[in-house]
A = this chain, B = another copy of it.
Amino acid sequence: MHNQAELAYRRLRERLIAGRYNPGDRLTELGICEDLGMSRTPVREALRRLQSDGLVASTGRGVVVSSLSEEDMRHATDLQGALEALAARLAATAQRDGHLSPAQMRQFEAAGRHVEERGAAGDVEGTWKANLDFHMMLARLSGNPLLEDALERIWARFSIVSRSNISRRTRLNAVHHAMIVRAISEGDPEAAACAAADHAREASITYSRNLASGD
C-alpha cells in the first residue's frame, strides 16, 4: 500500500522510534499536515494507529508522545520476557525440526555479533539499532506472526524512551545474546527460552538500577 495514510503512519512511526520526538511532546494534526504535506484525514488515521500502538496518547486535546513511567517499564519488560522466551522456544524448535534455513541462522548470528561490535565501538545509537534488529530477527524466527507483531509493539514502545542505559549493558548483552543464538542454533527449545527470559530479566534489573542511580 502506498496511500497517504499508510505513508503518514510509517513516517511518524519511524520518527518516533528514531527518537526524533521526546516523550511528552505535543503533536497537533495541523502541524503534521503541514509537515507531511497532506490533509487532516490521512494524518488523523495515522495518529489513531499510533495511539493503538501505544506510541502516542490522547490528552483530551490532541496527542502527546507517550512517556513510560518506571511502572510501565516494568510491565513492558515482564511482557517482553514472556514473549521473547516463547519466540526463542519456537525458533529453537523450528531449528531442531529443520524448518530454519542456514541463511536465516547465519543472519541471526551476524546480528548478535553486530550488537557486540557496535557496543565495543562505543556507538550508542548504533548499538541500540543493532539490538533492535537482533530482537526483531528473533521475533521473526519464531514463525508466529502474532508474536512478531506483539514484540514489534513492545520494542517500538521501548524505542521512544531514553537510550542512555543501553551503553552500560553492552557486555551483559553480548553474553546473553550469544547464549540465545547458541541455544537456537543447537535446536534446544528449553535452553533458548531460559536464555531469553534471563536476558529480559537482567535488562529489566539493569534498567531500574540505572534509573535509581540518576538516569
Contacts and interface: CB of A to CB of B under 8 A. Distances in A.
* Copies of the polypeptide in the assembly: 2
B45 A79 contact: no
A76 interface: yes
Contact of A82 (B48, B75, B82): B82
Contacts of A72: 146
A90 B79 CA distance: 11
Contacts of A45: 44-45, 48
Chain A interface SS verdict (over half):
helix
Nearest to A87: B82
A146 B79 contact: yes
Interface in A70-84: 72, 75-76, 78-79, 81-83
A126 to B, nearest CB: 28
A128 to B, nearest CB: 21
Interface of A: 41, 44-45, 48-49, 52-54, 72, 75-76, 78-79, 81-83, 85-86, 90, 144-147, 150, 154
14 contacts: A41-B41, A48-B48, A48-B49, A49-B52, A52-B53, A72-B146, A76-B146, A78-B144, A79-B86, A79-B146, A82-B83, A82-B85, A82-B86, A150-B150
